[in-house]
Structure 1
Amino acid sequence: MPAPVIVPQPLAAARAAFVGGAGYLAACTQGLPLRATLSASRAELDAWERGEATPAAYGAAVEEARAAFGSIVGVPADRVAIGSQVSAIAATVAASLPDGAEVVCVDGDFSSMVFPFLAQQHRGVTVVHAPLDRVADAIGPRTSLVAFSLVQSATGAVADSDAIIAAAATHGAITFADLTQAVGWLPVDASRFDLTACHAYKWLCAPRGSAFLTVGDRMLDELRPVQAGWFAGDDPWASCYGPDMHLARDARRFDVSPAWPVWPGTAAALAFFAGLDQVAVHAYTSGLGDALSDRLGLPALGQAIVTWPDADGSDLAALSASGIRASGRAGRARVAFHLWNTPDDVARVGDALPAKDRGSAEPAGS
């Protein structure tokens, strides 16, 4: 039986930063907004309504968010580019591969980390699909890049990044990790990967439409800025018109023009997470996950996301009928514990579900 989940005082205080959240176990689908995010977003709308919104103010919010994200994942701000969606970031990575490149992907990974590479097949790019626990073995001398979600969307399984990084280094392959289902509950050092992508609307609780790309040193020149626009310029305000192009010399060369209204709220959300002890957050959220696993007779895996087979959707339906917000993916029920959750949520889930053998917490080969 796992130890009782104790809420560290700083995290107990941090819970008050959210309006609510009891019974909401769907952070892996969409995070809940912080009070500060709601305040910043409403202030932006009010300023827009009054005709007082300015590009300079939006730009300042972008830079605050960029620096905060870099702090959270352990890279300097000049190695962080902004984006809108993981698929668009992955498309930039895919377009930068040479003709005939081989890419290793996870079998069953979220499509945003697979489709952009499949879409390059017209120029000879091939994709090798490997089970999560065999990704490192699938990397060989022909592999140009390995693309994988650090935490799998459908199962919550955590990739063996040490083995993947080691195998990629042996063969000179680029490592590209999607951190969307990890950052916010799992401590992550993005500097270990050549490239990472992260959409901030899930565990980082930002408005949807703000995403980040981190770029390792060797990729600054290898990655092609195929989405370059005025915001990627060395001086964006001097880059509004052609014909000359002078891109930023750091990761900002991969920036896309920001969807302005989402960035004040994003900056507020990321400032909050940058001020948290990520190790303590992981201990708390994964402790709740292990407590639920014990309640349901599943292996405790030290994860904030707990999934189990639910092919007919009966468990998800039972959770919904009890007022619990969860999700179902790939024939599995999925619950996620974040800072707003408490041991009461563990009890609510356990009480809502009928007693039965739920098998393994993660599918074979994950």
Structure 2
Amino acid sequence: MIPSPAPQTQPRDFASYFPPTSGYLSACTGGLPPLETVRAGHAFYDDWSKGALDARAIGAAAERVRGLYAGLAGVPASRVALGSQVSQLVSVVATGVPDGGEVLCPTGDFASLTHPFEQLAARGVTVRYAPAASLAEAITPATSLVAFSLVQSATGEVADHAAIVEGAAAVGAQTCVDLTQSLGWLPVGAADFDYTVCHAYKWLCSPRGTAFLTVREGLDDTLTPLAAGWCSADDVWSSCYAGNTPLSAGTGRFDLSPLWPLIAGTEEALKLFASLDARAVHDHAVALANSARQVLGLPAGNSAIVTWPDPEGADLATMQAAGLVASGRAGNARVSFHLWNTPDDVELLARALGR
């Protein structure tokens, strides 16, 4: 667990950080931008249109983003790489799986996490699946890596990560954890895992296209920087051309060139999360989710994501017709609750479904 930061002065409700909205129940699909992120995006395009972009300043902002994410994930900045897609970063982790090894994943986990490992068959690597709820028990001495989402996209199920880490350590296996559906509402970071990946556009409310990889100290040299480029060095401006292309001493060797239009907005979003009490954010989101579960006749849970069977999509269609933004995954209807949501959103859900 990441210890909650010292409580900060906060508004009466978290929604004041965001443009006014109502009935948006889909952080698990894509977060909403904080007001400061919107302003930063406009400022970027204003500067670009005037020919006033400063590449070095954008690079400095990217380093601040690295530091902010490191703080949220509970690891040193030297352990963080910046990318743009989870699957690309998982592909780097996949280079460290030994020939003939086994990767264990939850049944039905998100493809961006599992798909890169399935491409290793030519090296004799197998991917085995087990239910998320019993993943720790499914680990065997043949397991090289356990790769799982901390929170399952299709169901909202929260993994028993402590038991999985213990089970992996007992057989000498490593762990790779996708924090995309958790970091931002669930105060569990990267320090307990060998590798983590996270895209910031969901619960961290950043523009889509900024993702992060963390690598435990001592494991950088076991991975291959498949997409190494000019930003893979510690001094990027002296490493632009062939003949002097050193790798960063740390996890920055796996960096991709940052997507310039997104950096300032991502920085503002991560600054917001760094200023908040992580436990208060968690309690706010889960309390609203449990209010929705009560409306739906479901037992209380520990996730900010609420799902229920909707194989024909009837409930999803009803919610959408009522103006709610929700989603459907794997035969389930899916809603979620985050900083901008209030009890009014639960009431809108109840009215839409006639509960």
TM-score range, shorter chain: over 0.9
1:207-245 Cα deviation digits (max 9, x unpaired): 100001111113222222222111011311111111343
Q: Equivalent residue of 1:114, what SS?
A: helix
Shift of the alpha carbon at 1:54?
Answer: 1.7
In 1: Cα distance, 2:17 partner to 2:295 partner: 29
In 1: Cα distance, 2:57 partner to 2:309 partner: 47
1:157-200 Cα deviation digits (max 9, x unpaired): 00110110001100111110000000111101210001100000
1:96-141 Cα deviation digits (max 9, x unpaired): 2222111001110000011100011122110011110121122111
> Map of 1:1-366 to 2, 5 A cutoff?
10=10, 12-355=12-355
Shift of the alpha carbon at 1:319?
Answer: 0.6
Q: Which runs of 5+ in 1 are unaligned?
A: 1-7, 356-366
Q: Is the 8 A contact 2:183 2:189 kept in 1?
A: no
In 1: Cα distance, 2:273 partner to 2:182 partner: 13
Aligned length: 348
TM-score in terms of structure 1 length: 0.92
Q: Is the 8 A contact 2:200 2:207 kept in 1?
A: yes
In 1: Cα distance, 2:204 partner to 2:139 partner: 31
Larger CA deviation: 172-181 vs 216-225: 216-225
Amino acid at match of 1:203: W
Distance 1:253 1:9, change over 3 A: closer
In 2: Cα distance, 1:280 partner to 1:162 partner: 22
Q: Is the 8 A contact 1:106 1:135 kept in 2?
A: yes
Q: Is the 8 A contact 1:195 1:219 kept in 2?
A: no
Q: Which runs of 5+ in 2 are unaligned?
A: 1-7
Q: Is the 8 A contact 1:18 1:32 kept in 2?
A: yes
TM-score in terms of structure 2 length: 0.95
Q: Is the 8 A contact 2:80 2:251 kept in 1?
A: yes
Larger CA deviation: 24-33 vs 242-251: 242-251
Q: Equivalent residue of 2:285, what SS?
A: helix
Q: Equivalent residue of 2:98, what SS?
A: coil
Match of residue 4 from structure 1? none
In 1: Cα distance, 2:220 partner to 2:93 partner: 12
Shift of the alpha carbon at 1:31?
Answer: 0.6
Shift of the alpha carbon at 1:77?
Answer: 1.1
Shift of the alpha carbon at 1:13?
Answer: 4.7
In 1: Cα distance, 2:21 partner to 2:223 partner: 40
In 1: Cα distance, 2:12 partner to 2:86 partner: 32
1:62-112 Cα deviation digits (max 9, x unpaired): 111111111111111111110101111111111222221110011100000
Match of residue 361 from structure 1? none
Shift of the alpha carbon at 1:55?
Answer: 1.2
